[in-house]
Amino acid sequence: MIQDHPAGVTAIAALCAIVAAVALTFAVLLAVHAIPLSSGAFLIGGGLEQLGPIAFLLYAAIMILLAVALWRRWRWARRVAVLAAVIGIVMAVPGLSSAVMDSRIFAIAREGLQIMVRVIVVYYLGQEPVKDWFAAR
pLDDT in tens, 5-60: 899 999 999 999 999 999 999 999 999 999 998 888 888 877 788 888 999 999 99
In this model, does residue 4 exceed pLDDT 90? no
Q: Taking the alpha carbons of 37, 49, 89, 14 in that order, is the dihedral positive or negative?
A: positive
Which pLDDT score is estimated for 1?
A: 40
d(CA 118, CA 122) in angstroms, rounded, equals: 6
Distance, in Å, from the CA atom of 21 to the CA atom of 57, rounded to the nearest integer, reads: 10
- pLDDT at res. 51: 86
Q: Inform me whether the pLDDT recorded for 73 exceeds 50.
A: yes
Q: Output the CA torsion sign for 100, 106, 111, 113.
A: positive
* Cα–Cα separations (whole angstroms), residue 97 to 51, 76, 107: 23, 32, 10
How many residues in total does the chain contain? 137
